[in-house]
Amino acid sequence: MLGPIMIGVSQFELNFIEKKLLAHPHIGGVILFARNYHFTEQLKQLISSIQAVRIKANLSPALIAIDHEGGSVQRLRGETFTLLPTAYTVGCLYQKNPNRGRALVKAMATVTAYELGSLGIDLCLGPVLDLSPANLTPASSRQYTDNAITVSEIAKTYISELQAHGLSCAGKHFPGSGNETTNTHYGISISNASAKTLLNVCVKPYKALASSGILKAILLSHRIYMKLDDKPPAVSRVWLQDILRNQLRFEGVIITDCLQMTGAATMGKNLKSRIYNALTSGCDLVLCSHVCDGYYKEFYAALTDPELDYLINQRHEKSVIKLLALKRKYRDAYYHEGLQSKEYQVSVDFIRSVSDLKQQQKNIIHHHKILIYLKTIRHLRKLKSGKLFSYLFPVFKNFFANLYLFYCRHRYKKDT
Active site residues: 185, 257
Alpha-carbon torsion angle 74, 76, 78, 79, nearest 10: -110
Contact between 59 and 52 (Cβ < 8 Å): no
DSSP string, 306-364: HHHHHHHHTS-HHHHHHHHTTS-SS-HHHHHHHHTSHHHHHHHHHHHHSTTHHHHHHHH
Distances (CA, A) of 86 to 12, 137, 218, 256, 404: 27, 14, 20, 23, 26
* One-letter amino acid of 36: N
- Residues paired with residue 219 on neighbouring β-strands, in sequence order: 172, 255
CB atoms within 10 A of CB 26: 17
Q: What is the C-alpha to C-alpha distance for residues 64 and 47, in angstroms, rounded to an integer?
A: 8
Q: What is the C-alpha to C-alpha distance for residues 39 and 173, in angstroms, rounded to an integer?
A: 30
Of 344, 335, 139, 101, the residue nearest 221 (C-alpha) = 139
Region of residue 130 (phi > 0: left; psi between -120 and 50: alpha; otherwise: beta)? beta
Containing 145, the helix (H) or strand (E) segment is none
C-alpha torsion sign, points 316, 321, 324, 328 = negative
Q: What is the C-alpha to C-alpha distance for residues 174 and 157, in angstroms, rounded to an integer?
A: 19
Q: Residue 328 burial by CB count (10 A; 0-12/13-18/19+): exposed, middle or buried?
A: buried
Q: Which residues of 202-235 are buried (b: 16+ CB within 10 A; e: fewer)?
A: bbbbbbbbbeeeebbbbbbbbbbbeebbebbbbb
Contact between 51 and 62 (Cβ < 8 Å): yes
Contact between 314 and 279 (Cβ < 8 Å): no
Containing 284, the helix (H) or strand (E) segment is none
